[in-house]
Structure 1
Amino acid sequence: MVVRKSKTDQEGEGQAIAIGRTRQPGTCPATAYAAWVSAAGIVTGSAFRGVDRHGHRGAPDHEVDPARLGGHGAPLHPRHDPVREQRRGRSGIVGVVVEEGGVGSIMRTQEEVSLDRAADRFFRSYHAHCTRPDEDTLFNLLAAMHSLNDRMRAACSTRLFGSRSFIGLKALRNLFHHEVELIHEVRIIPVSKLPPVSMDLMSVCLVGRDLIERAAGSKDPAAVMNAFRWYGGIADVEPAIFNMAVDAFEALRVAGAHPSSDAYRVFEAQYDAEEDEGRPHHVTGEIRCRAGDVEEVLRVAFAQTPASRSD
């Protein structure tokens, strides 16, 4: 089935939705849908139409008399019928049409479609942070993470609070959201700018203890502090970012979400490759240094100003 347009698809790109069947015909949405289409004699146009008190089925949207829509002159496009749009938005159901010769499909709620799009935004933000890490990509990633968690709760009653990494990063997100200037105290340094080190990731994202303690507050500070890898008074939050992305991906799979962005597919391919090769999906975040004490190396790196690290 094809969704022509929804509230979050204002440009009308549309989306094809696959059908799902159950083992019990009496409760199978696909069986019920096929029975309705057959009984109503619908071949093209909208799948669901009004039935008057005499049992007569309404016409498809593109056959509606414009005078009945209250218009004068040019007919209203069915996508822009304000009454239909308002009713669709209140019910939470995405508008659905039948493609001629197409196979029936169950409808998806607006919350499920919004979840897919929030997931795509998150993985695009994650990809941007991995390839061009800086304060802006970090801020955008944390915002996308927060939005994804909200959409998961609305669509499938699932949240990311089972992820230790998410708990810590959410605290930082909330702090940066209310005091955005504090994100300038974060130090994001590519591994190429550090003395010779051995680590899982391509950069470090260093945050001082005072800032994380401020983000943690008094509600559950231990959960926030334990989300990160500590080196003395400095935490590297980059491993938490990586592991949180894994946790989000796994939660989306369980929820049956269908993100479609290139960034999501790249992550999915990497995850599946790790699965096939028996490699762990999460990282420890441990840093080993051949040039001296790791804590001292990171302390010196953290003390550098953003300007001295941007060359």
Structure 2
Amino acid sequence: MDSKANLADVSAASERFFRFYVAHCESPDLDTLFALLQAGHSLNDRLQKGAGLDFFNIPEFTALKCLRNYFHHHEELRHVVSIFPVGDYPIVTDLLYLCLVPRESVMMAIDQIKSQSAKDKARQACQDVFHLYGQVVNINPALFNFVVAAYERLKEANVVLTGVAVEKFEQSYRYEEENGFSHVINGKLETMAGSVDDLLANIMRTRGLSRSG
């Protein structure tokens, strides 16, 4: 396959990636989350083959890849992930939705990695980009910031980006540039209702009970 065909593959994978990203922004659920994680995984493969670049030095990708691999091999455990609107609870943040994963699941995802060097890299990445609140981890900041980093890496590789979803992303990206806003989010959580750790733990318990019922 020639270089033009390889870059065309990268372009197609990019369109799919941003389509799932927009879907996850507009109406997030477990299906959009895992479709986006899978699309990012596939895009990295295509980018390596088509442009000789990858996302491996982006800590958000390393952390999310760790979770993607874990849940890919343990699909029966996906129900432990909880996605819900911030507005449903007394939480202040720059996110519209939270995506919470039990800390135990993140640790198990790291432990399943066989190579010690890769395990150490994944552990450090998870510590750096996932937001830990007691026994609960919010992965949404890493997810959104990875999309920004992926976009910039694709532009660096001169990948042709097309599609409605890409246009929506670029419109937001340009707006941030023109108004001096950061492209990445902070994602920190605050609450006037006591401890954030306790609040999120209670949310995970009650949402888990409602799903099992």
Instruction: Please tell me whether residue 265 in structure 1 is matched to residue 167 in structure 2.
Output: yes
Shift in Å, 1:197: 1.7
Equivalent position of 1:207 in the other structure: 101
Alpha-carbon spacing, 1:300–1:113, altered in 2? closer, same or farther (3 Å): same
Shift in Å, 1:259: 1.6
SS of the residue corresponding to residue 167 of structure 1 reads helix
SS of the residue corresponding to residue 203 of structure 2 reads helix
Equivalent position of 2:187 in the other structure: 285
Instruction: Please tell me whether residue 121 in structure 1 is matched to residue 16 in structure 2.
Output: yes
Instruction: Please tell me whether residue 242 in structure 1 is matched to residue 144 in structure 2.
Output: yes
TM-score normalised by length of structure 2: 0.91
- Higher percent of residues as helix: 2
Shift in Å, 1:306: 5.0
Shift in Å, 1:304: 2.1
TM-score normalised by length of structure 1: 0.63
Report percent identity of matched pairs.
39
C-alpha offsets along residues 23-42 of structure 1, whole Å, 9 cap, x if unaligned?
A: xxxxxxxxxxxxxxxxxxxx
Name the CA distance, whole Å, in 1 between partners of 2:131 and 2:101: 10
Equivalent position of 2:63 in the other structure: 168
The answer (yes or no) to whether the contact 1:152–1:158 under 8 Å persists in 2 is yes
SS of the residue corresponding to residue 28 of structure 2 reads coil
C-alpha offsets along residues 221-251 of structure 1, whole Å, 9 cap, x if unaligned?
A: 2223332011111110000110000001110
The answer (yes or no) to whether the contact 2:28–2:83 under 8 Å persists in 1 is yes
| Corresponding residue to 1:134 among 29, 43, 66 | 29
Equivalent position of 1:8 in the other structure: none
One-letter code aligned to 2:100:
L
Name the CA distance, whole Å, in 1 between partners of 2:40 and 2:209: 28
Equivalent position of 1:197 in the other structure: 91
Shift in Å, 1:307: 7.0
Equivalent position of 1:226 in the other structure: 128
Name the CA distance, whole Å, in 2 between partners of 1:158 and 1:272: 24
Paired residue total: 203
Instruction: Please tell me whether residue 147 in structure 1 is matched to residue 49 in structure 2.
Output: no
Name the CA distance, whole Å, in 2 between partners of 1:140 and 1:265: 20
One-letter code aligned to 1:110:
A
Name the CA distance, whole Å, in 2 between partners of 1:254 and 1:172: 26
Equivalent position of 2:80 in the other structure: 185
Root mean square deviation, CA, Å: 1.4
Shift in Å, 1:291: 1.9
SS of the residue corresponding to residue 129 of structure 2 reads coil
C-alpha offsets along residues 244-264 of structure 1, whole Å, 9 cap, x if unaligned?
A: 000011101111111211011
Name the CA distance, whole Å, in 2 between partners of 1:200 and 1:162: 26
Name the CA distance, whole Å, in 2 between partners of 1:143 and 1:267: 19
One-letter code aligned to 2:140:
E
Equivalent position of 2:4 in the other structure: 109
C-alpha offsets along residues 116-174 of structure 1, whole Å, 9 cap, x if unaligned?
A: 01001000001111111111111101000000111111111111112111111000110
The answer (yes or no) to whether the contact 1:216–1:225 under 8 Å persists in 2 is no
One-letter code aligned to 2:207:
T
Name the CA distance, whole Å, in 2 between partners of 1:307 and 1:197: 21
